[in-house]
């Protein structure tokens, strides 16, 4: 009996100790759970803060775009109301020649995108690819020849005869600056001071046509063919020829209506653009002439230096692409007889290097080169391109790839054609713009490379016109808010 009681007492004590240990174990489990919950809550808060920052940045970007577009639309509306005579109760629905592009201070799209760390990753990937090209080329040269070969013979060949290029370009610049300016100046003074306006206008037009044809038409072609310039030097002359033609035409096109409209009163001087404004226009990165542009308050010379450094890096990038991906492949193909198999293999071998060259050309010229000159001249409107990489059609790609040239073609080609025909023949206007663009591209490539291979003509005049046909021409006519936004 006592033994049974003793055993019961021992069991109770053991059970009591066990039950007294359970709250302590439960407490440690609760502490661990609380610590885990706090860690999860901290991670959730960090994720929420990160998402909130991303959302705020996205909303701010969209609001800035909408604000810029609204500001541009209001400025356009103000310009139209200012140019409309108050006594006229009925206005013409057609575009007026004096309603042109509105310049607004804004940054380039890539400069804004590179502020985002994820987009900068793509930029760093291209830098890594350049370093890989350099290391690969040096390693192959060292293994094949037992030494490092850094002669850059391709550069020396492509940019040969730079002395000829410099003096020919200087003559073209001197004419583009002084020729149209002083011919129009003489015409403007005689047009308002004499009675025979028709004869004065005809003489000025003939003089300008002859001078433009001689100095900006025949002279560059003669330099290229007579001196047998290498490819890069040829492209410098031909592209500068096209740029001077487009810039001088814009100056003539914008100045002539202003001179005809503003007749000076007796004793008043003739209002004519200053030579300094025209000189500024010849170097600023736009093809639409204005006497005044939006300007930045100061120059960021470190930004200018970085852009020129990127252009130099892009040239080296192009060199290594040609040396590693193009020259070996096409050297082997040139030793084989031409066949369908050879042609298809060469086409696919050229696809990847061609894509890289296209992107390098876009980045080096449309972004770095134009931004460098815009910064040196404090030119504030940096919309040289739009987000063409998001295009879902060739029609949108053609409009957003090169805004500088697109504006010139739109205002002086498409819109002026519609204005002259009373907004009729939209399809003819579209076809004409694409035909001009195709011919100019083919002209540049034919003289630059020295042979005729109409790929650009088929791309622009063929595919482009089909994709941007008469049904889509209305969208081009509505492009004014887009290119000016």
pLDDT digits (tens, 9 = 90+) for 172-193: 999 999 999 998 888 888 876 6
Check: CB of residue 246 under 8 Å from CB of residue 410.
Answer: no
Residue burial 182-196, b: 16+ Cβ < 10 Å; e: rest? ebbbebbebbeeeee
Q: Which residues are paired to 106 by β-bridges?
A: 381
Distance of CA 461 to the CA centre of its chain: 21
More confident residue, 459 or 362: 362
* Cβ-based neighbours of 93, under 8 Å, separated by 6 or more: 423
Q: What is the pLDDT of residues 232-275, one digit of tens each?
A: 999 999 999 999 999 999 999 998 888 888 776 766 677 888 89
Task: Select which of 40, 58, 118, 441 is catalytic.
Answer: 441
Query: Which pLDDT band holds residue 196 (cuts at 50, 70, 90)?
Result: confident
Q: What is the pLDDT of residues 447-462, one digit of tens each?
A: 988 888 777 777 665 5
Q: What is the pLDDT of residues 5-41, one digit of tens each?
A: 444 444 444 444 444 444 444 555 555 556 666 666 6
Q: Is 441 a catalytic residue?
A: yes
Structure tokens at 139: 């390693």
339: left (phi > 0), else alpha (psi -120 to 50), else beta?
beta
Is the Cα dihedral 130, 131, 132, 133 positive or negative? positive
Query: How many residues would you count in the chain?
Result: 485
Q: What is the pLDDT of residues 67-78, one digit of tens each?
A: 666 655 555 454
* Cβ-based neighbours of 264, under 8 Å, separated by 6 or more: 192, 270, 271
Which of 113-127, 132-146, 250-264, 278-292 has the least mean pLDDT? 132-146
Q: Looking at the whole model, is its pTM more than 0.75? A: no
- What's the pLDDT score for residue 470? 38
The mean pLDDT value of the chain amounts to 78
């Amino acid at each position: 009996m006592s033994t049974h009681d003793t055993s019961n007492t021992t069991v109770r004590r053991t059970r009591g100790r066990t039950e007294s240990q359970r709250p302590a174990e439960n407490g440690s489990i609760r502490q661990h759970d609380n610590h885990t919950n706090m860690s999860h809550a901290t991670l959730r808060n960090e994720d929420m803060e990160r998402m909130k920052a991303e959302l705020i940045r996205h909303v701010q970007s969209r609001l800035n775009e909408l604000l810029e577009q609204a500001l541009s639309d209001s400025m356009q509306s103000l310009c139209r109301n200012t140019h409309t005579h108050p006594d006229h109760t009925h206005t013409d629905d057609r575009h007026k020649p004096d309603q042109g592009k509105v310049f607004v201070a804004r940054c380039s799209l890539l400069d804004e995108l590179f502020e985002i760390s994820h987009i900068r990753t793509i930029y760093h990937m291209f830098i890594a690819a350049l370093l890989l090209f350099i290391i690969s080329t040096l390693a192959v040269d060292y293994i094949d020849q037992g030494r490092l070969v850094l002669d850059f013979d391709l550069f020396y060949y492509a940019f040969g005869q730079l002395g000829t290029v410099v003096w020919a370009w200087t003559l073209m610049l001197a004419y583009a600056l002084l020729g149209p300016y002083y011919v129009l100046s003489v015409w403007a003074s005689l047009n308002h001071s004499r009675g025979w306006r028709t004869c004065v206008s005809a003489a000025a037009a003939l003089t300008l046509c002859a001078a433009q044809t001689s100095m900006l038409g025949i002279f560059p072609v003669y330099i290229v063919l007579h001196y047998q310039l290498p490819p890069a030097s040829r492209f410098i002359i031909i592209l500068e020829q096209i740029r001077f033609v487009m810039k001088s035409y814009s100056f003539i096109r914008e100045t002539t209506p202003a001179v005809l409209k503003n007749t000076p009163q007796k004793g008043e001087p003739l209002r004519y653009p200053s030579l300094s404004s025209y000189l500024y226009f010849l170097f600023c990165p736009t093809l639409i002439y204005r006497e005044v542009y939006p300007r930045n308050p100061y120059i960021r010379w470190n930004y200018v230096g970085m852009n020129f450094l990127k252009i130099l890096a892009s040239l080296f990038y192009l060199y290594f692409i040609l040396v590693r991906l193009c020259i070996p492949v096409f050297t082997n193909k040139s030793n084989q007889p031409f066949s369908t198999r050879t042609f298809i293999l060469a086409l696919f071998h050229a696809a990847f290097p061609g894509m890289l060259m296209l992107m390098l050309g876009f980045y080096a010229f449309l972004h770095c080169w134009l931004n460098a000159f815009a910064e040196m001249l404090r030119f504030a409107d940096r919309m040289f391109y739009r987000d063409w990489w998001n295009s879902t059609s060739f029609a949108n790609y053609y409009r957003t790839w090169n805004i500088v040239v697109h504006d010139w073609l739109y205002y002086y080609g498409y819109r002026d054609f519609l204005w002259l025909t009373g907004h009729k023949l939209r399809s003819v206007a579209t076809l004409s713009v694409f035909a001009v663009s195709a011919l100019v591209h083919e002209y540049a490539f034919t003289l630059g490379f020295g042979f005729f291979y109409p790929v650009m003509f088929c791309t622009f005049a063929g595919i482009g016109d089909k994709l941007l046909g008469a049904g889509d021409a209305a969208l081009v006519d509505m492009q004014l808010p887009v290119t000016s936004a």
